């Protein structure tokens, strides 16, 4: 089959990549549409030392199993079901997990993929592919509310106006939390402003260390340091960025100000599909471009440009 792979040195399209071979309890999925994520761009820089088919955001059609013939999206973590973390009900932290397009499992920038059947979620009939493809990153945005006590009246900041920052802001807005998004792109901030989200340009904001919660979505190694400039003593920072780069950081202010720092990753797919189906999340203005699979390397290059939000790949 045709697939976009990273071989450890370069991104290229392989016209004869091996077909996925579903293991026990797994099914094959024909990919309809895939989305480029910041994590994909970081993998190309060396994050996770992954080589193989890239991509983990997709909508497709199940080729077998209970959902055969239906459109599906999929949870990306594939647990062993037998380790101590699985026994604790934490399969996304399985000691031996593979992760679609990130760790030990070929991803979705291909004509077909394989996932455990339990990972698949049926897409509601009226939901367009170009909306359903946002389910995985939207679930990650929703996860913030599963980890932090978000109370009405809390001062919540979102740092970063890119792919994930846009979705986190919309989720918080839907929950009536009136977030303030701080970013560097007038165009991206304009998209949020048109949706009624409060925005501010990073160059015009003076940190005041008064935010109850700061959600860091900058996609940079300096994101935590930037968040520390805004969070109040005993406030909370939620880290959403995964980056290949590292940055030196003075941890003393976290101790002195007793700041809570929370890592946040994947979230509930059912809740994401429900928000999309209800029209609570606007996705079409977030789509910068769509490329055929043959042009997947160009799609990743386009996604890396500062003005890009979400770039899609269609097999």
| pLDDT band at 230; cut points 50, 70, 90 | very high
Residue with tokens 């789509």: 287
Mean pLDDT of 180-209: 96
**What's the average model confidence in pLDDT over 183-199?**
97
Domains in the chain, CATH or no CATH each: 3-134+283-314 (3.90.180.10), 138-263 (3.40.50.720)
Long-range contacts of 143-147 (CB under 8 A, 24+ apart): 143/264, 143/265, 143/266, 143/267, 143/268, 144/168, 144/171, 144/172, 144/215, 144/238, 144/240, 144/264, 145/171, 145/175, 146/267, 146/268, 147/238, 147/262, 147/264
| Residue 209 confidence class, pLDDT cut points 50, 70, 90 | very high
For the chain, what's the residue count? 315
Predicted local confidence at residue 239, as pLDDT: 96
Percent of the chain, pLDDT > 90?
95
Q: Are 115 and 74 a contacting pair, CB within 8 Å? A: yes
Per-residue confidence (pLDDT) for residue 22, from 0 to 100: 98
Identify the pLDDT of residue 242. Answer: 82
Q: How far apart are CA 26 and CA 28, in angstroms?
A: 7
Contact (CB, 8 A) for 136 and 167:
no
* Residue 248 reports pLDDT greater than 80: no
pLDDT at site 250? 84
The enclosing H or E element of 101 equals none
Q: Label residue 219 by pLDDT band (50, 70, 90).
A: confident
pLDDT tens-place string over residues 126-164: 999 999 999 999 999 999 999 999 999 999 999 999 999
pLDDT attached to residue 278: 98
pTM of whole model > 0.75?
yes
Read off the DSSP letter of residue 123.
P
Nearest to 158 by CA among 71, 274, 89, 240: 240
Mean pLDDT, all residues of the chain: 96
pLDDT tens per residue, range 33-63:
999 999 999 999 999 999 999 999 999 999 9
Determine the pLDDT at residue 206: 92
Q: In what order do the strands lie in the sheet with 3-6?
A: 11-14, 3-6, 52-53
């Amino acid at each position: 089959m045709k697939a976009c792979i990273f071989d450890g040195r370069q991104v290229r399209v392989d016209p004869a990549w091996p077909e996925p071979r579903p293991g026990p309890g797994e099914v094959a999925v024909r990919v309809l549409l895939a989305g480029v994520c910041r994590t994909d761009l970081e993998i190309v820089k060396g994050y996770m030392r992954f080589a193989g088919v890239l991509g983990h955001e997709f909508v497709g059609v199940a080729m077998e199993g209970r959902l055969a013939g239906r459109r599906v999206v999929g949870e990306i973590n594939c647990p062993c079901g037998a380790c101590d973390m699985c026994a604790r009900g934490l399969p996304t932290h399985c000691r031996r997990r593979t992760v679609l397009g990130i760790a030990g499992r070929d991803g979705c920038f291909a004509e077909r993929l394989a996932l455990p059947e339990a990972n698949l979620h049926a897409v509601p009939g009226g939901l367009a592919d170009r909306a359903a493809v946002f389910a995985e990153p939207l679930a990650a945005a929703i996860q913030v509310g599963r980890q932090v006590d978000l109370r009405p009246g809390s001062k919540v900041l979102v740092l970063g106006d890119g792919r994930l920052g846009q979705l986190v802001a919309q989720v918080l807005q839907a929950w009536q939390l009136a977030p303030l998004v701080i970013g560097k792109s007038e165009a991206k901030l304009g998209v949020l402003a048109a949706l009624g989200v409060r925005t501010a340009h990073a160059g015009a904001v003076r940190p005041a260390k008064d935010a109850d919660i700061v959600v860091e979505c900058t996609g940079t190694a300096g994101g935590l340091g930037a968040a520390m400039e805004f969070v109040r003593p005993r406030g909370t920072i939620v880290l959403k960025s995964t980056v290949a780069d590292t940055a030196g950081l003075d941890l003393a202010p976290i101790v002195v100000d007793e700041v809570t720092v929370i890592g946040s990753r994947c979230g509930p797919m059912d809740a994401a599909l429900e928000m999309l189906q209800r029209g609570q999340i606007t996705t079409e203005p977030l789509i910068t471009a769509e490329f055929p699979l043959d042009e997947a390397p160009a799609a990743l290059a386009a996604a890396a440009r500062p003005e890009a939000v979400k770039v899609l790949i269609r097999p």
